[in-house]
Structure 1
Amino acid sequence: MLAKVVRKLPHLVVIVLFGLIVVYEPKTTSVAGPNPKDPAHEDLTRIEYPSHATIAWKAHFIRPEETLESLFGKDWIYVARFNRIDRRHVYPGMTIKVPVDMAACRSYCPLPAEYEPAKRHEKYILIDLTEQWIAGYEYGKLKISAPAATGAAGHETPTGLFQIDARDQTHSSSLYKTEDQSDQYPMDNAMRFHVGEDDVAYWIHARDLPGKPASHGCVGLYDEEMQNRVYGAPEKPVLLDSQRFYDWAVGEEEYEDDPGSAELLEDAPMVEVRGSLPVYRK
């Protein structure tokens, strides 16, 4: 494979280049809570992921004082991944799916262990909208995977074959701010994979995962360090998928030293986005 290339840009040019790109993200970083349009509170059993048909599960209504940790101990991570949800978004009154066989849940991954289109690529990223899941392959073999939150209905993540062309470890939204209006919405560990004809940019980056498609087009991954910095919770970050994917795809082992600011890349991984949004039963 050709040597990886990083094209460093003068600081002013980077500002101009990235400043012209519209990034869709939630307008505020709000406190987790029930969906006001859902009088029964959030019910994740309504979301139909095809792979959930292969693992028996039961519904669990979250009661006051219950958390994923108190309910499932060390297995809380696997239950969170199974539901595509982060700890901040688990609250009393909502309903989640609980796998009957926790051993099967520990090895759960809805995407294939080998993927034919990725076999001729050193690194290849597959994003499945129907499963709300992302996977990284090396010459066709699965190396890394995680739940994701893609664009919600009306703001779907574009499908097709793309390529990462920029990285920005400390990226933030150019349009949207945090709830207290003190800072721009954080998009840590950002990897840009597409810019539409309307100059809308699509990134893979850190964000909240509420258990369903939720963004305005970008692809969000767990990052509890970002959540701790912005919300003060969780107190002890554990889930750091955006960092893992960033390091694997565009980290310093593959490219030159990362300055932590915007850089254009060449020869970065291909990104395939496939499928359609999962069915949400009313």
Structure 2
Amino acid sequence: MKLQPLKLVILGIFLAFLTQCKKEQLLGNDNHRQAPDHDSLAVTKSDSIKEAEEEQQKVTYRSFIFPTKKKDSAMAAFNKEFSEEERYTILALNRLDSKNKWRADTLAVPDQFDRSLMVYSPFPKNIETLKEVKKMVFFSYPIQAYALYESGKLIKWGPTSMGKKSAQTKRGLMFANWKKELAISTVDSDWKLPFNVNVHNTLGIGWHQYDLPGFPASHSCLRLLMDDAKYLYNWVDTWTLNKGGATLKANGTPVIVFGDYQWGGKKPWKNLINDPASNDISLEEMQEIIEPHLAKILKEQKNREEVEARSSVEE
């Protein structure tokens, strides 16, 4: 059957229309398939923006100066300007307790307040090297601060006052031994030491609550604020001894004391005023500190787990 010329034209237009529709359908399907990719890019971009905003929101510091000749009036102004909670935070960041705030000269004051101090942490939030280590304690001589980690995650940090230049705290790996809620100093019997945890039995080194004067001042022990001393006392695992207490069966929580203080130099936390990251300890530095001791730490941890397992069976 022969088609008339007009019918041929109409048929051609119809076929062209069908072809165009098919193309649009295919393109529509392609666009639909690509949509998740665009969404992923949007999410990635959003995450990047969020990270950038978090970087921009890092704490900054200003100075609060106590002039020598007008210290009393400056202290009154300090007490008036800041609440008790804020003063606690400021003093802690400057390695001072309330009793020793009269020693202050120039304080680094943060632009936001967090009594837990976690927002100001100079320690890495996570250390992959420690992921198999249940509990770990660090004391940094350079910045006079401690840090607690659980399975590589930072759970707490705070100020300390370590051994003075003539009686420095032993560096290196130690383990928590015994603890006593109220100990008496072997240096001076008048010194009462709340929440004492011994980490070197023969040298008599331990951490406990005592004065934080804003610099290393102890006779080799590791001084803490009262709240911190109590927290560490309840958190730490102590050694396990054989019956009768004559021999050691298992070590307690590992502790590493590291670095050196800038004796006679500018107090490190004052540098925060000009550089909020000046006290930060890098992940690479922490890994270098840990690596030489990691095998020993894991070995002692495994031994402790085995001792505890046997004890539970015997009971």
Q: Which TM-score band (shorter chain)? A: 0.5 to 0.7
More helix by share: 2
Aligned to 1:187: 193
Alignment check: 8 A CA contact 1:136 1:144 kept? yes
Report the alpha carbon displacement of residue 115 of structure 1 after superposing the two structures with TM: 2.7
Query: Which SS does the other structure have where 1:89 is aligned?
Result: helix
Answer 1 or 2: which has greater strand percent.
1
Q: Do structure 1's residue 61 and structure 2's residue 66 form an aligned pair?
A: yes
1:165 match: 177
RCO higher in 1 or 2 (8 Å CA, sep ≥ 6)?
A: 1
Matches within 5 A, 1:2-151: 55-61=60-66, 63-64=71-72, 66=75, 69-73=79-83, 74-91=85-102, 94-99=104-109, 101-103=111-113, 107-151=119-163
Q: Structure 2: 5+ residue runs without aligned partners?
A: 1-58, 241-247, 267-315
TM-superposed deviation, 1:206: 1.0
Deviation of 1:201 after TM superposition, in Å, equals 1.4
Distance 1:265 1:96, change over 3 A: farther
Q: Equivalent residue for 1:268?
A: 252
* Deviation at residue 189 of structure 1 after TM alignment: 0.9
1:75-116 per-position Cα deviation (integer Å, ceiling 9, x unaligned): 11220111010011112x741313252358952122221234
Contact 2:90 / 2:110 at 8 angstroms: preserved in 1?
A: no
Task: State the structure with more CA Rg.
Answer: 2
Q: Contact 2:89 / 2:113 at 8 angstroms: preserved in 1?
A: no
**What TM-score comes out, normalization by structure 2 length?**
0.55
Displacement of 1:268: 1.6
- Rounded to whole Å, the distance in 1 between the matches of 2:156 and 2:110 is 25
TM-score (norm 1): 0.61
Once the two structures are TM-superposed, the CA of residue 143 in structure 1 deviates from its matched residue by 0.9
Please give the root-mean-square deviation of Cα atoms over the aligned residues, in Å. 2.7
Shift, 1:247, TM fit: 0.9
Cα distance in 1 for residues equivalent to 2:88 and 2:124? 21
Report the number of matched residues. Answer: 193
Which moved further from structure 2: 116-125 or 131-140? 116-125
Q: Which runs of 5+ in 1 are unaligned?
A: 1-53, 178-183, 224-239, 256-263
